[in-house]
Chain A
Amino acid sequence: MTNLMIGRYLPGDSLVHRMDPRSKIVLVFYFICIVFLADNGLSYLVLGLFTLLAVLLTKIKLIYFWRGIRPAIVLILFTVMIQVFFTRGGQIFWSWGPFALSTAGLLNAWFIFLRLVIIICMSTLLTLTTSPLDISSALSSLMTPLKWVHFPVDIIALMLSIALRFVPTLMDETVRIMNAQRARGVDFGSGNLIQQIKAVVPILIPLFVSAIQHAEDLDDAMTARGYRTDAPRTTYRIIQWHTRDTLSFGVFIVLTVIILFVRTA
Chain B
Amino acid sequence: MYNERKRGNDVEEPIITIDHLTVKYAEQQHPALDDISLTVPAHSWTAIIGHNGSGKSTMIKALTGLVTADAGTMTVAGMPVDEAHIWDIRRKMGVVFQNPENQFVGSTVADDVAFGLENAQIPRDKMIPRVQNALAQVGMTDFATREPAHLSGGQKQRVAIAGIVALAPDIIALDEATSMLDPEGRVAVLQTIRNLKAQQDLTILAVTHDLEEAAAADNVIVIDNGHLVASGTPPEIFARGEKLIDMGLAVPFTEQLKTDLSNAGVPLPAHYLTEEEMAEQIWKLYSTM
Q: Contact residues of A with B, CB < 8 Å? A: 133, 136, 161-162, 164-165, 168-169, 172, 213-214, 217-218, 220-228, 231-238
Contact = CB atoms under 8 A, between A and B. Distances in A.
Main secondary structure of the interface of A (DSSP, over half): helix
A155 to B, nearest CB: 13
A165 B122 contact: no
Given A234-B118, A236-B127, A224 B104 contact: no
A234 B124 contact: yes
B204 to A, nearest CB: 16
B163 interface: yes
Contacts of B152: none
Contacts of B55: none
Interface residues of B, number: 41
Contact of B108 (A133, A217, A221, A222): A133
B124 A217 contact: no
B87 interface: yes
A1 to B, nearest CB: 17
Contact of B149 (A168, A223, A231): A168
A225 B105 contact: yes
A97 to B, nearest CB: 56
B105 A222 contact: yes
A259 B115 CA distance: 47
Nearest to B160: A221
Contacts of B117: 234, 236
Contact of B147 (A136, A165, A227, A228): A165
Contacts of A133: 107-108, 147
B163 A217 contact: no
A236 B111 contact: yes
Contacts of A228: 87, 119
B45 interface: no
A233 B164 CA distance: 17
Contacts of B78: none
B115 A161 contact: no
A221 to B, nearest CB: 4
B153 interface: no
Given A226-B91, A227-B115, A234-B127, A221 B102 contact: yes
18 contacts: A133-B147, A136-B107, A169-B101, A213-B102, A214-B102, A218-B102, A218-B103, A221-B97, A221-B102, A221-B105, A222-B105, A223-B66, A227-B115, A228-B87, A231-B119, A234-B118, A234-B122, A237-B111
